Copies of this chain bind each other. A is one copy, B any other.
Amino acid sequence: MNSFGRNFRVSVFGESHGEAIGVVVDGVKAGIPICEEDFLEDISRRKSGSKGTTPRIEADEPEILSGVFEGHTTGAPIAIIFRNTNTRSSDYEALKDIPRPGHADYTASVKWNGFNDPRGGGHFSGRLTLPLVAAGVIAKKQSGFSFKADLVEVGGEADKDKWPAMLKETAREGDSLGGVVECQVEGVPAGLGEPFFDSVESLISHAVFSIPGVRGVEFGDGFAASRMKGSEHNDCFPLTRNGAGGVNGGITNGAPIVFRVAFKPTSSIAKTQRTLNIKTGEVADLQIRGRHDTCFALRTPVIVEAVAAIVLAGLR
């Protein structure tokens, strides 16, 4: 199902090339000041336009349909929609029977017996992260915590100075790059989360893996913890390191929550790829045209913040 959360619930809808995409946010406290301008910064951080991102430009103007009255949340569900305007369906028509490697074209078609909207990935499009970001803005306000996510690696490289050249070179090759985002949440009190099955890590990873293109999630020392001794990894009290990423036994310990998210390289690449025509069964060459990010991970830090905020806004 396309909703998440018990006490702060987010339901997303829409397709890349449909009428509109949007989100319903339920469980919002009454009295939070909010207006359409509040969404602009986070929406702009997700936007394309910079080097390494797709030149498809959408207005991305949030239209608040409900739940806000005289500049404050009312307590009723907040529905926000974004009209799709800059859609070129013809880009995708030809691909209907030819699933793009790395995309959900094939699985969506199987799941929904071919009735899925194939245009631009339909409901599976990365464009659906826009309503997530909008929900995140509300969630951040409700939680009161401080969320800060950054891209810390592109193509395995941590030195940001080298990224522009890598992106340029990769784009020239018709290829793409992945990246790693690190997110820190500060101001979280100790005691949030549930032991089974709603540990903070369970909930955050659940939400994070909703973001298209995520391949891994780790908390604190993460995979490196598996290579440490207990005496190295344990956070002694009072805390001076944070190998647990702010969570013990699924419950926050008062230290910042720290986690990292691995994003795959953009699936749509200009390079010719092998694929299968699912109608004829013939192997075919695929050349993906259109406007694509060389490294969509560049746009994801604000999305990671958003889903973390959506989780934490619902905890008590």
Closest B residue to A15 using CB positions? B66
Residues of B within 8 A of A173 (CB): 229
Residues of B within 8 A of A14 (CB): 65-66, 76, 79
* A18 and B65 in contact, given A216-B222, A234-B273 (Cβ under 8 angstroms): yes
Residues of B within 8 A of A38 (CB): none
Closest B residue to A259 using CB positions? B216
Pick the contact of A197: B3, B19, B104, B106 (CB < 8 A): B3
- Taking a contact as CB atoms under 8 Å apart, the answer to whether B102 and A81 are in contact is no
Residues of B within 8 A of A175 (CB): 229-231
Closest B residue to A124 using CB positions? B249
A272 CB to nearest chain B CB (Å): 9
- Taking a contact as CB atoms under 8 Å apart, the answer to whether B107 and A191 are in contact is yes
- Interface residue ranges of A69-85 to B (CB < 8 Å): 69, 72-79, 81
Copies held by the complex? 4
Closest B residue to A292 using CB positions? B230
* A207 and B215 in contact, given A64-B19, A81-B65, A233-B264 (Cβ under 8 angstroms): no
CA distance A66 to B194 in the complex (A): 16
- Confirm or deny: A57 has a beta carbon within 8 angstroms of a beta carbon on chain B: no
- Taking a contact as CB atoms under 8 Å apart, the answer to whether B65 and A235 are in contact is no
Band of interface residues on A:
35 or more
Q: 1/0 per residue A21-57: CB within 8 Å of B?
A: 1101011001100000000000000000000000000
- Confirm or deny: A267 has a beta carbon within 8 angstroms of a beta carbon on chain B: yes
- Confirm or deny: A274 has a beta carbon within 8 angstroms of a beta carbon on chain B: yes
- Taking a contact as CB atoms under 8 Å apart, the answer to whether B216 and A249 are in contact is no
- Taking a contact as CB atoms under 8 Å apart, the answer to whether A265 and B209 are in contact is no
CA distance A238 to B2 in the complex (A): 29
Closest B residue to A266 using CB positions? B230
- Taking a contact as CB atoms under 8 Å apart, the answer to whether A2 and B76 are in contact is yes
CA distance A210 to B202 in the complex (A): 6
Residues of B within 8 A of A104 (CB): 195, 248-251
| 21 A-B pairs (CB sep. < 8 Å) | A2-B76, A3-B3, A10-B197, A12-B77, A13-B76, A14-B76, A31-B113, A69-B115, A75-B116, A104-B249, A108-B249, A108-B251, A111-B191, A173-B229, A215-B220, A217-B217, A228-B264, A229-B265, A230-B265, A230-B266, A238-B276
The 7 closest A-B pairs by CB, nearest first: A104-B249, A216-B218, A156-B227, A75-B112, A176-B230, A107-B251, A30-B112
Given A75-B115, A178-B226, A228-B265, 20 more pairs with CB closer than 8 A: A2-B198, A6-B7, A11-B24, A13-B65, A19-B66, A21-B65, A22-B66, A31-B112, A74-B123, A75-B116, A79-B81, A106-B190, A106-B248, A110-B251, A124-B249, A155-B227, A215-B245, A225-B263, A233-B264, A237-B275
